[in-house]
Structure 1
Amino acid sequence: MAAMRVDRRSALALGGGVLAVGALTAGGIAVRSPYAPPPQLPAGSWDPGPAAGTYDLGGHRVELGGPGVPRNRRFRVLRAGTPVWWARAGVIGAGRGTLEWTDVTGHFSDRRRLDRIWTDARCESAEALGTDTLRLTGRFGVRPGEGPDWQLTLGSRGDVLEVDLEVPDADLVLLRSDLAVDEGVHGLGAQATGFDLRGRDVVLVTREQGVGRGKQPVTVLAEKTQGAGGSPTTTYAPMPTLVTAGLRGLDWSQDRVAEVDLRDRLEVSVWDRRLTARWRTAPTPRELVRAPHDTVPGWTGTGAILGLQGGSAEVRRKLAALDGAAISGVWLQDWVGQRSTGFGSRLWWTWELDRRLYPDWDQLVDELGQRGIRVLTYINPFVVDAGEKPGGVRRDLYHEALQRGFLVGHPDGGPYILDQDGFGAAMVDLTNPAAYAWFGEVIAAMPRTGGWMADFGESLPFDAVLHDGDPRELHNRWPLLWEQLNASVRGADEFVFHRSAWRGSRAAHWAGDQLTSWDAYDGMASALLGMLAGGVSGLPLMHADAGGYTSLPQRVVRARRDAELLLRWSEWCVWSPVLRTHESNRPAENAQVWDQPAAPAFAQQTRVFRELAGYRAEVVADDLPAIRHCWVEVPGSAAAGRDDQYFFGPSFLVAPVLQPGAGGREVSLPPGRWVLVWTGEEYPGDRVVRVRSLIGQPPVFHRVEDAGAAAISRRIRAL
């Protein structure tokens, strides 16, 4: 068997180094993170040379200033007199070198080695190609023959400036832009950190998000023992798109790994010889962040989707404890059977129904259907050797795929086996058309009535052997291939949701595997941050595991949810596209929604969720993010500077309670007059107010003049 690699969930067993690393942390001894940003590249320069001048192309004007022109006007592109792209120093750059990857515990960290870097560029010619395209050519370096030649083509297409930079002799190319003093930068995927990314260096590679992500001592422990700590910018769902507070947007088409350095300016480096990008402008943030997406079945908005497991009897027992709750679906991830690992309860990835756990599956599904409850299941892009599975399997998908050459290969030969905490798994090669079709048939054959979770997608090794293509090109695109495969067999009324994402994604997503904790590093508050960033990056339909997923039992790093955390998490998920719960990786150690005293409170929350069904349907049909940072709805207000509150659609301002034991919180109200949903009390806007908050009633407001929201609020108060 080929070499094995372990993933995040394996790492979370953490193991014997707990006390030792905890002592190191307590003693102030730092463990260097492999995600530490590299040194900044030289600032460089721009010399317009003989091409100096002004060029009109379509709706844009290009200014290539010559001697005597102020530095901030040496390179500028304007639309309707407003700068879209400008730089005082280097505008473009290139380099030669390598990007070396360490793949430990399912986390990818990189080491950038640049043998040569050129950030001084001289323009030798400017050629108009029609009325809307300008081609600039030149060379890098300040002396003749010092650096390679480059070609930069600019095209005006309405409010979009198309950019195409080619450097045939480079391994890396980059674009740069200055930023205004107060111009925040947002997006780049589901970044679970501050909404304004200025000061960050973000590597865009889809990967496990990390354990702790800066929360101590769990991060240093996970890093020291398993290389799994992550950083504030590691994410399952990066996206090569950003927007700025200056109402500019930048996205690019290359799938290879990119680095976005925002420590001094806006700098996008792509490990490719070509970078094709688009600068976009819009009059408002709303117009800048629109993103098309697939439809979401209406039934998902009428009640909670409960994550349940344990077999038929347990599903019935848990549902009985939630009498009176609005439930639209049950998500039975263990339909394939359970296995125990050091991390907690895991699944048998054999992709066939486990009749030992669900002996009366058909009867259970019929019972639930009569109550209007759909059944959702689970799948990921792996297959496993099921030789040790109790009861065996009727169809051995692993050996079938192995014999037919359908698995991702290892460079040493054989399939690439990835350790999943005590069991090995191999990925189906989605670049193989026959394997793609074969696994599509496997997915289509899953028993379900409502859809499924399409997990993983971010694990393709950079040294994998594929049927077709370069893994360096396909690593980031793999989540999209996985998404497209699932979409190809999804029924029109089925809900399929993903964890990983990349450019072109159209599916619904959830915010990943957070700790069962409150914090903004890797807990509840981080889920909200990731959803806000994802929303302006092309992922408009995001939700969270209500209650979190990752529970850690070790004394030094313990993360367990109590009823308060579970209910506070679910109460703001009510004001989102989907209310879906998860039992966590250690169900017996964490509060559950069917437990007392949580069950009555959660049932009440589901009824509030149901009252929002009509409004929710309108929100999720829009191509704006369902959960919107206040900057999207009320730019320029004091509320737009807050990352701990959001708009659910255009009408409701939601301020989640993100601290334990808090009986309320401060809310920054935008200008106007606002009504507190739970009481009908009016508040003057454009100020910070302190609002009392009972469990189940996070501060939620609507504008006085919003008649539709007022009607919904009256119905909620009558529940």
Structure 2
Amino acid sequence: MRRVSTAVFRARRRRRRWPRRLLVCFVVFVLVAAAGLISWTRTFPSDDLDAVQPARLTFAPGVGGTRAQNIEAVVFGDRLQLQRDNRVVWTSPTNQSFVTAARSTVAYDEHRGYFWPQVDTTRSWTAQTVDSVRAEGNRIIVGGRLKGSPDVPYTMTVSPRGAGGLDVLLTTTSNAVDALGFQTGRTRGRGVHGFGEQFDSFDLSGRLIPLLVREQGVGRGEQPVTFLADATQRGAGGARSMTYAAYPTFVTDDLRGVRLAPSSPEAGAFGIADTRNSDRVGLQIWSRSLHLELTSADFASDLLAQQQGPVTRPTLAKWTQDGLIVGVQGGSAKVRDTVRRLKAAGVRVAGVWIQDWTGGRTTSFGDRLWWTWQPDPERYPDWKQLVGELQAQGVRTTTYVNPFLTDASGRPGTNLYAQAAARGYLIRDVDGQPYQQDQGGFSATMVDLTNPAARQWFSQVIAHHVLADGVVGFMADFAEGLPMDARLHSGDPRTLHNRWPKLWAETVKAGCAAAGRTDCVTWFRSGTPDMASDTPLFWTGDQLVTWSTDDGLASSLLGTFSAGVSGWALDHSDLGGYTSVDAVAKNYVRSPELLQRWGEVAAFGVVMRSHEGNRPAQNLQVYDPTQVAATARSSRIFAALAPYRATVLDEATRDGIPAVRHTWVNWPNTTAAANDRQFFLGQSVLVAPVLSEGSRTATVSFPPGTWVNIFTGRSYAGGATTNVPAPLGTPAAFVRADDPWLPKIQAALRAQSVR
């Protein structure tokens, strides 16, 4: 055997070491890069919340329950229970305080309408003593102390609520605190729902939810677009708890509800909802007084009707039920051609939505608008004639407006920005100048809606410019971005921030009235608890052109569900989604199947309105030659459902029960109520949309009874979860076999040639 010299052996060993050394170096590099990436992502803005946790509840010796006419407070030793007409309306958590207090500072990091609250609690009061429970006329007054240094006195006055349930006024006279907490007991593990429009699971247990109006984000967890938005636009990826409409309102599976009285000042205050403990729900509101409304019912729909109360809600104009409101822009010729081609293809066209009526501009985010609120003479030189021609064809025209103005120097028409600035009608920055807010490629300034003269002036702008020439409605965008450091005509922006959508809605309503438009169709994405009397319609904002539960088609349903049990009776989404982004690793554009499936969902909604999106040229449109057949079929399904949907809209307008609703509203405490991927239109029509690319089946959780597919006639047994066929063009939609609406709906579908 040949011997290998020591030198050769050592050389070979060194050569074998090099790959291992390279591998080690590579692993070290990856670990260092990952650590750096993690450290960098931690610099992205985020919420920092701190909610006070309740401690022990103690009743002073001799304290017992009492009755005042038909209301009663029952003391069990470890909890307090409130009743009306012998029905339990509310109970405190067992062995835990139901009133807490805190002294804390709330700072905000903000960027382009995104806000991240930073809560720093310096003192808290968590242990509660109830010193007295007494009747006084038709009221019950509960008094006591929160133990601390100093003790904090509180008074809770309970009285009958006109719409059912109980009114509770919780107050403290202590200046040591700036936030009060109210804890509600629930059966351990039972679900909690609401808190405004939450793009999250319908059961919001296990959450800490900031009650703050703000931009919802782009991606909200869907990757890689969320990381890209966070990295390049300073946190704009958003998170699950970010929403345009966060309300201090909830209902539970115990069929009880709690909300702050919508018209009370504290309903617009910053707050935190705490559902992390399975036996209670907490509201912590930055106010020293809370006007609470407590409700209870045997059925979920009755609970919602009782909680929402007798509100006079505007009705939705009947023409919106005739078919598609097509989103189209690009000039008069394109609008005319699009309507002509859609009608020729058999699409039921009820209206057009022309958002670029004021002119367009291109930014890094895509196609944007000139916020001048006057027709653009270049794109629409014959604007009045166009609107009139469409009206003659039975097609109504809707447009777009928001509460901002941009400097229109050099453009035709009146420079409304300059006019408003000269009159002092704009919000101001710390230097007293019009507050220029970065819109991503241009700046704009909000009209100061705390100034009565400014609101009157802007309502006239809406009446005489936006609603001129036969226009019948518009998207009323934004209102969630009032800066916390703005200088206003009156009031503190920190306490008015959550109220700004209400001021915007009142201004829009006044504009419609000034224009004589009693059936004005307006839709908002930002909201407050008391907007139901100001507008007939809401929409879920700017979803991605994807399927996802984070920020796509599925997320629009989740937002609709929670908004529906929080007071938004009529809600819808942009058909096809809005946000399209080239995230380098992935180009987010609509697929043909996504557009068709979104149309199928919209066919069972309250209105059917499409959007071209922020990058129209890169995305399929409902009017493209390859899509018009699917658009025609969905629009005809929508039209066929009009007689049934009219009864649903009447109920929603009268009682506040959501038209598009989670199964829980109709069938609480059933296995079907756990399914977040199906919905009801009203009481009768169950829809299980396909929410994933390539799927030709839908998973349906049927409530009790026998259910019939309205397209195929096939029957399915209730009380079971079943995979049912759902080919493109045939949504999985069902009505109970014993429901009188079944034959009527089937006949209407046949009349529209879609069955």
Do these two structures clear the TM 0.5 threshold for a shared fold by scoring above it? yes
Structure 1 CA distance for aligned equivalents of residues 244 and 569 of structure 2: 16
- Flag structure 2 segments of 5+ consecutive residues without an equivalent: 1-29
Structure 2 counterparts to residues 99-498 of structure 1, below 5 A:
99-130=106-137, 132-141=138-147, 146-157=150-161, 159-168=164-173, 169=175, 170-225=177-232, 226-253=234-261, 254=266, 255-264=268-277, 265-290=280-305, 291=308, 292=311, 293-322=313-342, 323=344, 324-387=346-409, 392-445=411-464, 446=466, 447=468, 448-490=470-512, 491-498=517-524
CA deviation digits over 1:249-308, x for unaligned, max 9?
101031111110100131100011111101111111001112443210010011110010
| SS of corresponding position for 1:545 | coil
Q: Is the contact between residue 54 and residue 63 of structure 1 (CA under 8 Å) also seen in structure 2?
A: yes
Structure 2 CA distance for aligned equivalents of residues 194 and 30 of structure 1: 29
CA deviation digits over 1:12-66, x for unaligned, max 9?
xxxxxxxx9xx9699877834644563553331222214621111343322334x
CA deviation digits over 1:554-593, x for unaligned, max 9?
2225321111101101111110100000000000111111
Structure 2 counterparts to residues 638-657 of structure 1, below 5 A:
638-657=671-690
Structure 1 CA distance for aligned equivalents of residues 376 and 208 of structure 2: 46
Go from structure 1 to structure 2 and tell me whether the alpha carbon gap of 1:557 and 1:115 turns closer, same or farther (over 3 Å shift): farther
Structure 2 counterparts to residues 555-570 of structure 1, below 5 A:
555-570=584-599
Deviates more, 1:161-170 or 1:545-554: 161-170
Structure 2 CA distance for aligned equivalents of residues 613 and 24 of structure 1: 55
Q: How many residues end up aligned between the 2 structures?
A: 686
Structure 1 CA distance for aligned equivalents of residues 37 and 115 of structure 2: 28
Structure 2 CA distance for aligned equivalents of residues 396 and 202 of structure 1: 41
Residue 109 of structure 2 corresponds to residue 76 of structure 1: no
Q: Is the contact between residue 701 and residue 721 of structure 2 (CA under 8 Å) also seen in structure 1?
A: yes
Go from structure 1 to structure 2 and tell me whether the alpha carbon gap of 1:26 and 1:220 turns closer, same or farther (over 3 Å shift): farther
Q: Is the contact between residue 34 and residue 110 of structure 1 (CA under 8 Å) also seen in structure 2?
A: no
Q: 2:547 aligns with which of 514, 518, 527?
A: 518
CA deviation digits over 1:465-506, x for unaligned, max 9?
111112122111110111111112321232111111101112
CA deviation digits over 1:296-341, x for unaligned, max 9?
0010011110010000111123223322210110000000000010
Structure 1 CA distance for aligned equivalents of residues 191 and 337 of structure 2: 50
Q: Is the contact between residue 51 and residue 284 of structure 2 (CA under 8 Å) also seen in structure 1?
A: no
Letter in 1 for 2:64: G
Q: Is the contact between residue 426 and residue 434 of structure 2 (CA under 8 Å) also seen in structure 1?
A: yes
| SS of corresponding position for 2:195 | strand
Q: Is the contact between residue 198 and residue 562 of structure 2 (CA under 8 Å) also seen in structure 1?
A: yes
Q: 2:41 aligns with which of 7, 26, 31?
A: 31
Structure 2 CA distance for aligned equivalents of residues 497 and 646 of structure 1: 22
| SS of corresponding position for 2:458 | helix
Q: Is the contact between residue 515 and residue 549 of structure 1 (CA under 8 Å) also seen in structure 2?
A: yes
Q: CA deviation at 1:126?
A: 3.5
Structure 1 CA distance for aligned equivalents of residues 36 and 122 of structure 2: 39
Q: Is the contact between residue 258 and residue 271 of structure 1 (CA under 8 Å) also seen in structure 2?
A: yes
Go from structure 1 to structure 2 and tell me whether the alpha carbon gap of 1:470 and 1:50 turns closer, same or farther (over 3 Å shift): farther
- What's the TM-score once normalised by structure 1's chain length? 0.92
Structure 2 CA distance for aligned equivalents of residues 580 and 241 of structure 1: 28
Residue 727 of structure 2 corresponds to residue 710 of structure 1: no
Deviates more, 1:325-334 or 1:499-508: 499-508
Structure 2 CA distance for aligned equivalents of residues 543 and 433 of structure 1: 31
Structure 1 CA distance for aligned equivalents of residues 408 and 352 of structure 2: 26
Which protein has the bigger helix share?
2
Residue 705 of structure 2 corresponds to residue 672 of structure 1: yes
Q: Is the contact between residue 352 and residue 396 of structure 2 (CA under 8 Å) also seen in structure 1?
A: yes
CA deviation digits over 1:108-167, x for unaligned, max 9?
11000111110112233334321x21223322216xx53322222222337422221212
Q: CA deviation at 1:423?
A: 1.2
Task: Name the % identity.
Answer: 41
**Larger relative contact order (Cα-Cα within 8 Å, sequence gap ≥ 6):** 1
| SS of corresponding position for 2:92 | strand
Go from structure 1 to structure 2 and tell me whether the alpha carbon gap of 1:713 and 1:24 turns closer, same or farther (over 3 Å shift): farther
Q: Is the contact between residue 321 and residue 595 of structure 1 (CA under 8 Å) also seen in structure 2?
A: no
Go from structure 1 to structure 2 and tell me whether the alpha carbon gap of 1:24 and 1:595 turns closer, same or farther (over 3 Å shift): farther
Q: Is the contact between residue 248 and residue 273 of structure 2 (CA under 8 Å) also seen in structure 1?
A: no
Structure 2 CA distance for aligned equivalents of residues 62 and 55 of structure 1: 5
RMSD: 2.0
Q: Is the contact between residue 58 and residue 157 of structure 1 (CA under 8 Å) also seen in structure 2?
A: no
Q: Is the contact between residue 709 and residue 734 of structure 2 (CA under 8 Å) also seen in structure 1?
A: yes
Which residue pairs with 2:579 in the alignment?
Answer: 550
Letter in 2 for 1:565: L
Q: 1:682 aligns with which of 715, 722, 741?
A: 715
| SS of corresponding position for 2:292 | strand
Structure 2 counterparts to residues 604-643 of structure 1, below 5 A:
604-623=633-652, 624-643=657-676
| SS of corresponding position for 2:41 | coil
Q: CA deviation at 1:635?
A: 1.7
Letter in 1 for 2:70: G
Letter in 2 for 1:317: D
Go from structure 1 to structure 2 and tell me whether the alpha carbon gap of 1:707 and 1:95 turns closer, same or farther (over 3 Å shift): same
- What's the TM-score once normalised by structure 2's chain length? 0.88
Q: Is the contact between residue 50 and residue 123 of structure 1 (CA under 8 Å) also seen in structure 2?
A: no
Q: Is the contact between residue 677 and residue 717 of structure 1 (CA under 8 Å) also seen in structure 2?
A: no
- Flag structure 1 segments of 5+ consecutive residues without an equivalent: 1-19
Q: Is the contact between residue 461 and residue 511 of structure 2 (CA under 8 Å) also seen in structure 1?
A: no
Q: Is the contact between residue 641 and residue 748 of structure 2 (CA under 8 Å) also seen in structure 1?
A: no
CA deviation digits over 1:416-445, x for unaligned, max 9?
111111211010011111100100000011
Structure 2 CA distance for aligned equivalents of residues 688 and 52 of structure 1: 51
Structure 2 CA distance for aligned equivalents of residues 240 and 121 of structure 1: 23
Structure 2 CA distance for aligned equivalents of residues 183 and 476 of structure 1: 29
